[in-house]
Amino acid sequence: MTRDKNEAINSYITDMLALEDHIEKAIRGQLEDLKDYPGVVTELRQIHRTVEHHISDLRALSERRGAGGVKEVVKRAGSAVLGAAAGAIDLVRTEGLPKNLRDDYTALSLASIGYVMLHTTGLALDDGEVAELAQQGFSDYAGAVSRLQATIPAAVVAFLNQDGLPAREDVVPQIRRTIEEVWQTQSSGVFRTQETVSSRDIQR
């Protein structure tokens, strides 16, 4: 049976709400587990506030759209969305600071592309409210992912030193510059090379 456009949009909204709910619970646990790393906890608190804000906005949007019982719908969506992603975003593992941050990075990247998909759906189906909310969500996580990317090298070096290894702290600025240069180089060309690709091309 063909879905109407509201059903299609609502399915993306509940998928995002399920994912955000999972991320919120996991990061909330990390705030306690990583309390010995105050600099990291400060960053995670900011991310946690962002996640809570997203959840509030998505719940309100879902209720305004009359998407049905939000908790029940999200529970169903969550089993599908998180079942596929569980191995990649198991944020409650206790494998040390760097791997916790790696998993945070993975989860926020998954949420980022989810918001790109929701934004695309909203624009393609002429729903400006949904498109605007999704654009803000993507923007929020683009910033959070960038900050985590800058934090992780220092966390890795600190963790190696805690293990008694002679890890050089002076390489961290170089690594950050490399990350920035790589992303700038790649982002400057990727959309130019894709300018002529349309949805019809993808369907062929």
CATH number of the domain to which 22 belongs: 1.20.1260.10
Which DSSP symbol is given to 4? P
Tabulate helix, strand, coil % of the chain (nearest 5): 80, 0, 20
Predicted confidence (pLDDT) at residue 138 exceeds the cutoff of 90: yes
- Residue 181 located in a structural domain: no
Answer yes or no: is 106 within a domain: yes
Instruction: Look up the domain containing 97 and give its range.
Output: 5-167
In this prediction, what percent of the chain has a pLDDT beyond 90?
49
pLDDT band of residue 99 (cuts 50, 70, 90) is confident
Give the pLDDT confidence score for residue 84 in this predicted structure: 45
Do the domain assignments include residue 87? yes
Segment among 10-24, 46-60, 112-126, 167-181 with least mean pLDDT: 10-24
Cα(155)–Cα(118) distance, rounded to whole angstroms?
A: 33
At 23, which amino acid appears? I
Mean pLDDT confidence for 175-201: 73
Per the model's pLDDT, the better-predicted residue between 144 and 82 turns out to be 144
What is the total residue count of the chain? 204
Q: Is 123 exposed, middle or buried (0-12, 13-18, 19+ CB in 10 A)?
A: middle
pLDDT mean over 107-128: 95
**Tens digits of residue pLDDT in 150-167:** 999 999 999 899 899 999
130 within domain boundaries = yes
> Could you tell me which of 83, 61, 69 has the C-alpha nearest to residue 12?
61
Name the range with the highest mean pLDDT among 75-84, 93-102, 120-129. 120-129
The predicted model gives 52-72 an average pLDDT of 82
Distance set, CA 134 to CA 122, 124, 159, 166 (Å): 8, 13, 36, 44
Whether residue 197 is contained in a domain is answered as no
Confidence of residue 78 (pLDDT cuts 50, 70, 90): very low
Tell me what the mean pLDDT of segment 53-57 comes to: 96
pTM value is: 0.83
Per the structure, the count of domains in the chain is 1
Task: In whole angstroms, give the CA distance from residue 162 to residue 75.
Answer: 40
